[in-house]
Structure 1
Amino acid sequence: MSAFPTQPLSPLDGRYQAAVSPLGEFLSEAGLNRARVEVEVEWIIALTNRSLFGTQPLDEATQFKLRELYTAFDQESIDWLAAKEAVTRHDVKAVEYLVRDRLSRLGLDSIAELTHFGCTSEDINSLAYALTVKRAVTDVWLPALRAMLDKLRALSLELADAPMLSRTHGQPATPSTMGKELGVFVWRVERVVRRIENVEYLGKFSGATGTWSAHTVASPETDWPAVSRGFVEGLGLDFNPVTTQIESHDWQVELYDAAKHAGGILHNLAQDVWTYISLGYFTQIPVAGATGSSTMPHKINPIKFENAEANFEIAGGLFATLAQTLVTSRLQRDLTDSTTQRNIGVAFGHSLLALSNLSGGLDQIALSRETLLADLDGNWEILGEAIQTVVRAEVVAGRSRISDPYALLKELTRGHRVGGAELAEFVSGLDIGDDARERLLALTPDTYTGLAEQITRTHL
């Protein structure tokens, strides 16, 4: 016997539960079963609204009571389903029995056989998963992603004019501004967000092998594809008319690939901000009572960016597995998707946790403009690019006879520290026009940022 009472195996249900709990409303087992009940109930209402098989439309009061089966889905229903599934060994069949039981309680035994009518489990599951994933993404995950992007955009605009030494290949390079560099991530993620916003949440409702075979035998005169389309679209989903026993999950593959892509970009951001902190570009704002190191009292560790980095990696791995597995189904049906889809919430949970930490990390940093300026002032050689480019232009314009401007600047600057005075002396002796010389003499590393500020303010 374990020395501990039952404990959460996943940190998402333990240490990090508070950060990810909003997803549990939709992507938990209970959330999935509630959606299954919703589909079963709405299908009964849809069939009776069409007066199929001699039924009559249910009055509003009865419809309301039926819908309470999922709008008021509670612990009693959760426990009932768990007990029933222990007998049936089939989760969707347990849901069907729950609906039948509740119909009987409501005195609606006469329409009990409409429960799960013409359905395979995957008719219910495809709609239930589409509903729960759509709601989790649109109500929880995307708002968290947009909120983080809004925070990053605001910081980017605030720092649009803050000159910063770039470090291509980790080496001093043509300056930019901190705002523009952060803005690159906003721009990148927003493109992916637009793809996510346009994802179709597809459902099928066409029976055992996607052919409406049983339906057409039961009621040959009914246009079952039209009935199914109306039902699926009435739930706010997109209809897939061409399927096997399962909806082919391609919309899920597209969504999880895009979510992984967004997380990969933000993983890159977390690493870059971590590096800027290590360079002293950003200082971290102390949190009262917090400990940075168990032995070094002075430290403030960038733990939120490290947490975000790790959880984006975990989420990305899970999203990749979901996409890779769900794209395939043997012949007309296999069950590899069943256990795989139970991890959708885990993937979004780690992603949401990463977003929470990244957002919190952005709240706890402040730019050290003095450090940025000192870094720039220690790297005047980066103006070599500007000088050789101006000289080239002067040669083309016939105002200079220098034969190889690039080689000239390479000899002066490569592998050497060159100060402002040395560069000024060098520029003063160049064979170029007076206007060009004045522009170069006025140039400093902190003013050599091109259109970085304009790019930021124009495109964000």
Structure 2
Amino acid sequence: MNLTLLTAISPIDGRYFKSTQSLRYIFSEFSFFKYRLKVEILWFKKILKMYKIIKIQKIEKTDVLFIDNILKNFTIKDAMYIKSIEKKTNHDVKALEYFLKYKFSTSKKLSSMSEFIHFGCTSEDINNIAYALMIKDSLNRVIVPFWSEIIGVLKKYSIEYKNSSMLSMTHGQPATPSTMGKEFLNFYYRMKRQFFKLKKIKILAKFNGTTGNYNAYVAAYPKINWHIISEEFIKSLNLVSNPCTTQIEPHDYIAEIFGCISLFNNILIDFNRDIWGYISMNYFTQISIDQEVGSSVMPHKINPIDFENSEGNLGLSNALMNHMINKLPISRWQRDLSDSTVLRNIGVALSYSVIAYHSILCGIKKLKINNIQLLKNLNDNWSVLSEAIQTVMRKYNIKDSYEQLKKLTRGKKISQIDIYNFISNLNIPEIEKKRLKNITPANYIGLSVQIIEKETK
């Protein structure tokens, strides 16, 4: 059976192929080989710059160009050749080393220096930096831009809906009104916090040999300060050096990043569920697309499928990331391989998030606020003003203020006339009675508008 979008086991490579294409250029096995090849080549070039100390030939610009072109012109055919070597070595990084030696064999000068490929390295020196670069690129190119777009959309609708009063629901019951803009703002503010938190997390890397002590390097060249060389190399890749490791970089920073993404996703799940509920309450209608159907048997339906799709995929993403958060920082003694297969699924975890981000942005664009329904729900629930009335009564030290409003409103259908009659009989100044009578469920929104204006400047 040929591999097509319809025969792929994972929906990431099938149904959602287009949505995850941006990550495919970072986390596919081909890309993983290319990132590792980049690290190997850059380390080799770093060694070459130390030619006087190491006592090797100085190479010419044409040799550097030859080396750079190995990476620049890396193809699927090259990756397949590495895989053929791996079948014999049963070790992917060693196969990559042999591939580079094969490439160098066509250059007399470089062939004589091929033993300095992968010099002093353990495979994890190469892998951990490759993963760090992959994660860095996925954040900068994919995740952060998606977050920026989602946060920007929430900010936009916070402002657009700032005067759209709505009946709040606490415990699923009518409660003190808010505005739809303020409810969007709540999510905007929460997601923005995670956005800034994510950007502050340092992406770490190590390049210090088999148990983190530069043993092999020191054995070969004891007078070189390999710690400084390692720091310079890692810094040149715009990563942060982790000086204290075993054979592996302990992956704590990955757990921190995934913790931040997972929390962002949970906030987005909360948003999805709220919007889903508002659609069911008719606070929002959804724009109808002629060719779409909502049910195979019920022609009238427009289902909130984008928000449901987003919620489901965010759950899958978080399940994988939460496993990685718990697993990756743990390694038996100086190294075990249980992290290796988990790390290969970083792209899978992020892919489910990206699918969800696509869906949420698509879903929001279909929403149309229903101010008529919002106002109807408010006018059907005058009892929510009991909070305001009993608080003003407390201001004038009226005994049992809360209890009086409880007796009037709890579990009862209260009209505007009932509220007005109650206010008229209060022993408070007439100016306060007039002010209370001017409060309606639609305008009892506190400082929601001002909060929106302040936080979206």
Regarding TM over 0.5, the answer is yes
Contact 1:205/1:228 (CA < 8 Å) preserved in 2? yes
Out of 420, 440, 447, the position equivalent to 1:444 is 440
User: Offset at 1:105?
Assistant: 2.4
Alignment of 1:29-40 (within 5 A): 29-40=29-40
* 1:9 to 1:50, Cα distance in 2 relative to 1, 3 A: same
1:348 deviation in Å? 0.1
Deviates more, 1:269-278 or 1:138-147: 138-147
Q: What amino acid sits opposite 2:181 in the alignment?
A: G
Q: Distance in 2 between matches of 1:40 and 1:381?
A: 71
Q: For each residue in 1:208-232, what CA deviation from the matched residue of structure 2 results, as whole angstroms up to 9, or x when unmatched?
A: 1001011011001100000000001
Q: Which amino acid letter does the alignment assign opposite residue 381 of structure 1? A: S
Deviation at 1:200, TM superposition (A): 1.2
The counterpart of 1:259, out of the listed 261, 266, 271, is: 261
Q: Name the counterpart of 2:69.
A: 68
Distance 1:227 1:403, change over 3 A: same
Q: Which residue of 2 aligns with 1:50?
A: 50
- Secondary structure of the 2:396 match is helix
| Superposition map of 1:92-171 within 5 A | 92-107=93-108, 108-171=110-173
Q: Within 5 Å, which residues of 2 pair with 1:319-338?
A: 319-338=321-340
| AA partner of residue 247 (structure 1) | E
> 1:11-410 alignment to 2 at 5 Å?
11-51=11-51, 52-107=53-108, 108-395=110-397, 402-410=398-406
Shift of 1:57: 4.6
Report the CA distance between 1:56 and its aligned residue. 4.5
Matched, 1:424 2:426: no
The answer to whether the Cα contact below 8 Å between 1:118 and 1:214 also exists between their aligned partners in 2 is yes
Cα distance, 1:65 vs structure 2: 2.8
Q: Deviation digits for residues 15-40 of structure 1, max 9, x if unmatched?
A: 00100110011111111110100000
Give, in whole Å, the separation in 2 of the partners of 1:440 and 1:372. Answer: 22
The one-letter amino acid paired with 1:437 is K
Q: Distance in 2 between matches of 1:335 and 1:315?
A: 23
- Secondary structure at 1:366's aligned position in 2? strand
State the match for 1:399 in structure 2: none
Change (3 A) 1:387 1:44: same
CA distance in structure 2 between the partners assigned to 1:274 and 1:63 by the alignment: 58
Moved more, 442-451 or 105-114: 105-114
SS of the aligned residue for 1:11 comes to coil
Which range moves more in the overlay, 444-453 or 139-148? 139-148
Task: Name the Cα RMSD after superposition.
Answer: 1.4
Q: Which amino acid aligns with 1:215?
A: Y
Q: 1:106 to 1:160 in 2, by over 3 A?
A: farther
Q: Distance in 2 between matches of 1:39 and 1:109?
A: 19
Superposed displacement of residue 286, structure 1: 0.9
Distance between the aligned counterparts of 2:245 and 2:155, measured in 1?
Answer: 42
Number of residue-to-residue matches in the alignment? 453
Distance 1:410 1:325, change over 3 A: same
Please list the CA deviations of residues 374-419 of structure 1 after superposition, one character each: whole Å capped at 9, or x if unmatched. 0000000000000000111122xxxxxx211100111001101111
In the aligned structure 2, how far is the partner of 1:287 from the partner of 1:141?
29
- 1:457 deviates by 1.6
Task: Look up the SS of the partner of 1:174 in the other structure.
Answer: strand
Q: Shift of residue 373 of structure 1?
A: 0.4
Which has the higher mean CA deviation after the structures are superposed, 277-286 or 427-436? 427-436
The letter of the residue matching 1:179 is G
After TM superposition, give the deviation of residue 66 of structure 1 in Å.
Answer: 1.4
Q: Distance in 2 between matches of 1:135 and 1:253?
A: 17
Unaligned runs of at least 5 residues, structure 2: none
Structure 2 letter corresponding to 1:45: K
Distance 1:366 1:289 in 2: 19
Unaligned runs of 5+ in 1: 396-401
Larger CA deviation: 106-115 vs 297-306: 106-115
Percent identity of paired positions between Structure 1 and Structure 2:
39
Query: Which residue type is aligned with residue 449 of structure 1?
Result: I
Contact 1:394 1:433 in 2 (8 A): no
Q: In the aligned structure 2, how far is the partner of 1:22 from the partner of 1:240?
A: 29
Tell me the alpha carbon deviations over residues 124-155 of structure 1, each in whole angstroms, 9 at most, x when there is no partner.
Answer: 00100000111011111211121111112111
Distance apart, 1:421 and its partner CA: 1.3
Is contact 1:49–1:56 with CA below 8 Å preserved after alignment? Answer: no
Shift, 1:59, TM fit = 3.5
Residues 433, 14 of structure 1: CA spacing in aligned structure 2 closer, same or farther, 3 A cutoff?
same
Q: How far apart, in 2, do the equivalents of 1:322 and 1:4 lie?
A: 29
For 1:111, give the aligned amino acid.
M
How far residue 299 of structure 1 moved from its aligned partner, in angstroms, is: 0.5
Task: Measure the CA separation in 2 of the matches of 1:233 and 1:59.
Answer: 25
Amino acid corresponding to residue 114 of structure 2 in structure 1: A
Tell me, yes or no, if the aligned pair for 1:160 and 1:180 is still in contact at 8 Å: yes
CA-to-partner distance for each residue in 1:144-181, whole Å, 9 max, x for gaps?
A: 12111111211111101110000000000000000110
